[in-house]
């Protein structure tokens, strides 16, 4: 008979996610994980698997939560263009409010070119966000809010790519006003 765990696996996964989010995968040691989660190695391996498996669970959790956050930001709008604008504004807000750079962006640069599972998680969630924004842009075109000569799929990719740029500028420039201006410029471009 399986023994009940003396800890909440989701709560401890959040602790690991925060650690990976702060340090990245390669800079995080197994001892860092043990310390952050407050569990011994055997409990970690038994519950989550090895470091890589734990990281994939953390990355998936972060990516799914981020997607839900963006979708929620745009869900309450009657205007499809306003929904896209709310998603962009939420990306700017997250960039300026979160303590660490986007875990998806960080993981993409650190691991996606050499780790097919990381790439798959990032691509899957990115494709879902792309589909949401593309659909909103198509509806905005039908409503006359976005010019018909713009390719909604390409514009959606451009918008999502801009989110990573917000993080990069925020980290390298340490200039919240510049990030806000970039977001505003992106919104102007979408409307033109």
> Tens digits of per-residue pLDDT, 157-191?
999 999 999 999 999 999 999 999 999 999 999 99
User: What pLDDT score was predicted for residue 74?
Assistant: 84
Locate the domains of the chain by residue range. 62-191
Tens digit of each residue's pLDDT (9 = 90 or more) over 126-147:
999 999 999 999 999 999 999 9
Distance CA 24, CA 163 (A): 19
CATH topology for 62-191? Tetracycline Repressor; domain 2 (1.10.357)
Measured CA to CA, the distance from residue 120 to residue 108 in angstroms comes to: 10
């Amino acid at each position: 008979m399986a023994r009940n765990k003396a800890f909440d696996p989701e709560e401890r996964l959040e602790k690991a996610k925060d650690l990976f989010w702060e340090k990245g995968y390669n800079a995080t040691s197994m001892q860092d994980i043990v310390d952050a989660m407050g569990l011994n190695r055997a409990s970690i391996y038994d519950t989550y698997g090895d470091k890589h498996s734990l990281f994939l669970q953390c990355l998936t959790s972060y990516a799914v939560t981020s997607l839900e956050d963006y979708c929620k930001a745009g869900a309450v709008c009657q205007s499809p263009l306003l929904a896209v604008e709310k998603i962009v504004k939420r990306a700017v807000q997250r960039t300026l409010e979160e303590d660490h750079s986007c875990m998806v962006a960080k993981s993409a640069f650190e691991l996606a070119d050499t780790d097919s599972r990381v790439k798959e998680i990032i691509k899957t969630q990115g494709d879902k966000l792309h589909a949401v924004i593309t659909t909103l842009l198509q509806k905005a075109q039908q409503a006359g809010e976005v010019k018909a000569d713009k390719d909604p799929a390409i514009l959606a990719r451009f918008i999502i790519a801009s989110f990573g740029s917000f993080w990069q500028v925020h980290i390298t420039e340490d200039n919240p006003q510049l990030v806000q201006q970039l977001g505003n410029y992106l919104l102007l471009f979408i409307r033109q």
